Amino acid sequence: MSKVDILVDLQFGSTGKGAIAGYLAVTRPYDTVVSANRPNAGHTFIDAKGHKMIHKVLPNGVVGASVRTVLIGAGAVFSVEQLLREIDRLDKFGYNNFGVYIHEAAVVLTDEHKSGEKEYSRIGSTQQGAAQAVIAKMDRDPGNDPTIKHVEINHPRIIVVSPNEYHNKLLLANKILAEGAQGYSLGIDAGFWPYCTSRNCTVNSFMSDMGIPHTMLNTVIGACRTYPIRVAGTSGPHYHDQEELDWEDVGVEPEKTTVTQRVRRVFTFSIQQI
């Protein structure tokens, strides 16, 4: 059954996916929302009452009135503390009608993962520990299991589930919103290595990280912006058909990234990128 709409970024990230995801969930009858976020991306949504939510773990579609199930896929990397903070903030705003089900193979972020990325500043990395966390998982060392399978989370609405239990949640869902992170051009194989993230940012990649079969795919929703951005500093080159601008050229106040709060670089629109 084709029941999954997936939202992806078509550029270098920061195209407003968080706001779009929240809008879609508020205006469409999704009962399940899915993500496999990592700590190097934050997604912002402001509801009709002015409540601002910034999520690095949960999908922003959690604000939908019909949403009852939140799934966090095996490709996710996050800290439990960040997840609890996000749920606590949602509770304060009245968003508490859902359960969070985490695939047992999702990776728990640690301080060691973060400290291992200090040298990545030379390539414009956010240095949040995502790559080191994934490397720890890929090492397959039984004595150093970084997954959430063995972590106890004391919260009544958070449950760590097996692969079969996770898949059953997908099967039982009626309408699903899946949310990708970062942006296509930040993908490790998108042509800007090493100025990139540690995974591909494509529909196929995100669906794999979220454990969603391709037979469930209904619609792909792409987000882009008139003036694409990259993070500050040595974050890499741009496409041949675009130029780097100053924020004065655009005529607006300089933007800052959600995660690092560094001023973004800004560029002209690229047809090649889209």
pLDDT digits (tens, 9 = 90+) for 52-82: 999 999 999 999 999 999 999 999 999 999 9
- Considering the candidates 14, 35, 205, 235, report the single residue annotated as catalytic: 14
Give me the chain's average pLDDT, please: 92
Query: pLDDT digits over 35-49, tens only?
Result: 999 987 889 999 999
Poorest-pLDDT segment among 136-150, 172-186, 251-265: 251-265
pTM: 0.91
- 70: CB partners within 8 A, 6+ apart: 32, 33, 34, 58, 59, 62, 98, 99, 100, 101
Whether 272 has a pLDDT exceeding 90, the answer reads yes
Whether 126 has a pLDDT exceeding 70, the answer reads no
Q: Residues 85-103: what's their mean pLDDT?
A: 98
Residue-wise DSSP of 194-242 = TSS-SS--SHHHHHHHHT--GGGEEEEEEE--SS-EE-SSS-----TT-
Share of the chain above pLDDT 90, in %: 77
DSSP state of 165: H
pLDDT bracket for residue 136 (50, 70, 90): confident
More confident residue, 151 or 258: 151
Q: Residues 70-96: what's their mean pLDDT?
A: 97
Quote the pLDDT of residue 188: 95
Q: What are the chain's domains?
A: 4-227 (3.40.440.10)
Segment (H or E) for 178: strand 176-179
d(CA 90, CA 106) in angstroms, rounded, equals 22
pLDDT bracket for residue 235 (50, 70, 90): confident
pLDDT bracket for residue 123 (50, 70, 90): very low
Quote the pLDDT of residue 66: 98
Tokens found for residue 8: 């992806």
Share of the chain above pLDDT 70, in %: 93
Query: pLDDT digits over 171-228, tens only?
Result: 999 999 999 999 999 999 999 999 988 899 999 999 999 999 999 999 999 999 999 9
pLDDT bracket for residue 118 (50, 70, 90): low
Whether 120 has a pLDDT exceeding 70, the answer reads no
pLDDT bracket for residue 114 (50, 70, 90): low
Quote the pLDDT of residue 122: 54
Residue 14 annotated to the active site:
yes
Quote the pLDDT of residue 265: 95
Q: Comparing C-alpha atoms, which of 10, 163, 183 is closest to residue 74? A: 163
Residue-wise DSSP of 30-60 = -SEEEE---TT--EEEE-TT--EEEESSS-G
More confident residue, 115 or 179: 179
